[in-house]
């Protein structure tokens, strides 16, 4: 007999209570931003995942893994990310993966991104390995090419790409300082503003070499 979404959710939550002692009315109500809760609850949700067929319930489980404390479970998250077909659920899962990926995951994450079809928030995900030394050259080359050829890149993607430290990406934004798209224009000005700031070392040097006000007291003698 196939369980309804409500019945399946109740079974999962009953198991969470039995194993962890924590009680919740909905999976979406589990606050895994707290490390102790994440450490206790995420293994239970991961064990139940194979039995969950409803996309809304999967979506709720994925949201629980959108926390830095889900890093130990990245193998499972990567497996789910390859298999998921529901777009809203996949969006949440991709954001979770972007949050928990570490430099040690750079090679396999880039391999999957380059082999699988583009997914929601994919550029948010790519912006992470673009800063990992092991693959940053290949990922940045891919992003730069996409900026010129992929018309589907959304403003949300551009916000993530703008954080990647690459002169070619900065130049792409600088060319759009007068873009007709107000959101892109604002983002381009932010990127250009960051580029105009003095490097930290130069700023410190300027402070060190700047003339200081004399602290010597001036005595005025009165007759």
Query: Tens of pLDDT along 34-74?
Result: 999 999 999 999 999 999 999 999 999 999 999 999 999 99
Joined tokens for residue 51: 């039995």
Residue 221: CA atoms inside 13 Å, Cβ hemisphere, count? 1
pLDDT band at 118 (very low <50, low <70, confident <90, very high): confident
Higher pLDDT, 196 or 183: 183
> Which two three-digit tokens encode residue 2?
């196939």
Token pair listed for 78: 């990567």
41/26 Cα distance (integer angstroms) = 13
* Mean pLDDT estimate for the chain: 88
For residues 15 and 48, is the Cβ–Cβ distance under 8 A?
yes
| pLDDT reading at 30 higher than 50 | yes
Q: Is the pLDDT of residue 128 over 60?
A: yes
- Answer for the pair 90, 120: CB distance below 8 angstroms, yes or no: yes
The pTM score is: 0.80
Asked if pLDDT for residue 197 goes beyond 90, the answer is no
Q: Which residues contact 120 (CB under 8 A, 6 or more apart)?
A: 87, 90, 91, 94
């Amino acid at each position: 007999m196939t369980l309804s979404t409500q019945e399946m959710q109740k079974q999962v939550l009953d198991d969470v209570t039995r194993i962890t002692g924590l009680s919740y009315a909905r999976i979406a109500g589990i606050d895994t931003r707290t490390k102790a809760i994440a450490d206790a609850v995420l293994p239970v949700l991961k064990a139940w995942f194979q039995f969950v067929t409803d996309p809304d319930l999967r979506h709720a489980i994925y949201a629980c893994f959108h926390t830095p404390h889900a890093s130990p479970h990245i193998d499972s998250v990567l497996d789910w990310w390859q298999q998921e077909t529901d777009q809203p659920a996949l969006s949440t899962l991709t954001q979770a993966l972007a949050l928990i990926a570490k430099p040690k995951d750079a090679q396999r994450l880039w391999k999957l991104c380059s082999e699988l079809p583009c997914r929601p928030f994919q550029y948010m995900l790519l912006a992470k390995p673009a800063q990992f030394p092991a693959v940053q050259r290949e990922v940045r080359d891919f992003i730069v090419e996409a900026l010129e050829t992929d018309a589907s890149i959304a403003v949300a993607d551009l916000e993530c790409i703008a954080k990647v430290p690459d002169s070619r990406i900065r130049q792409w934004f600088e060319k759009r300082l007068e873009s007709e798209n107000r959101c892109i224009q604002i983002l381009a000005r932010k990127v250009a503003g960051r580029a105009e700031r003095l490097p930290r070392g130069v700023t410190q040097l300027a402070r060190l070499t700047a003339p200081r006000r004399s602290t010597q007291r001036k005595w005025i003698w009165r007759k």
